[in-house]
Chains A and B, each alone.
Chain A
Amino acid sequence: KQEVTQIPAALSVPEGENLVLNCSFTDSAIYNLQWFRQDPGKGLTSLLLIQSSQREQTSGRLNASLDKSSGRSTLYIAASQPGDSATYLCAVRPRDDYKLSFGAGTTVTVRA
């Protein structure tokens, strides 16, 4: 059974600092990995999706890397802003299924 872990559970940084969020998974037989953003009282918004054959994906200030063999993904957010304050979840899709396994998320606070 795939286990997805996100450490730390919470993170507080001053504005302008780069954010590094970690996601680890136990089974490397994945199809893709996805990073989501969740705002309080809202649903999940997809940020980046990395296919198993890719090493990284970039979108604006966001960069996600994937090391499938070691079961790790990292989401980098450059030059953080107060608007980046949210909970970030990673989800893994296994190779032989389409149902996602989610981590518990990292709650980020960016202080102005």
Chain B
Amino acid sequence: NAGVTQTPKFRILKIGQSMTLQCTQDMNHNYMYWYRQDPGMGLKLIYYSVGAGITDKGEVPNGYNVSRSTTEDFPLRLELAAPSQTSVYFCASSILPGQSTYEQYFGPGTRLTVT
């Protein structure tokens, strides 16, 4: 049982380049989330999904896009990379909220640098 996996672990992009951060979970969780973590800051929610085919914006969605074609996968797309997108990106998943043991399971993160 791998939990939440993310690829790549590290990436350096030039300004204006595009890339997709991959996230996969094998726990059959309906809910999935993308966060970014800047130095000295808490995690900020970028996008989330409540199930295949359903996505919604979080707190800081500008410059990103997502899709959710399957329960397992939730890729995050950066179309025109900017230095402000230099950050560590975390993917997470959870069962339906409202369960007494509700909690989010996190992947190991992708460290992205845009220069």
A is bound by B: yes
Interface residues of A (CB under 8 A from B): 4, 9, 32, 34, 36, 41-46, 49, 51, 89, 91, 93, 98-105
In the complex, residue of chain A having the shortest beta-carbon distance to the beta carbon of B105 = A46
Contact with A along B87-109 (1 / 0, CB 8 A): 00010101001101111111111
Evaluate contact between B31 and A98: CB separation under 8 angstroms: yes
In the complex, residue of chain B having the shortest beta-carbon distance to the beta carbon of A51 = B100
Evaluate contact between B106 and A102: CB separation under 8 angstroms: no
B42 near A: Cβ within 8 Å?
Answer: yes
Whether A104 touches B102, Cβ cut-off 8 Å, given contacts A42-B108, A44-B90, A98-B31, is no
CB distance from A75 to the nearest CB of B (A): 16
CB neighbours of A34 from chain B (8 A)? 103
B112 near A: Cβ within 8 Å?
Answer: no
Number of A-B contacts (CB under 8 A): 53
Q: In whole angstroms, what is the CA distance A28 to B31 when docked?
A: 25
Excluding A43-B106, A98-B94, A102-B44, 15 further A-B contacts by CB distance (< 8 Å) are A41-B109, A43-B4, A43-B109, A44-B106, A45-B106, A49-B102, A49-B103, A51-B100, A89-B43, A98-B98, A99-B48, A99-B58, A101-B42, A102-B42, A103-B42
Q: In whole angstroms, what is the CA distance A103 to B68 when docked?
A: 28
B45 near A: Cβ within 8 Å?
Answer: yes
CB neighbours of A4 from chain B (8 A)? 42
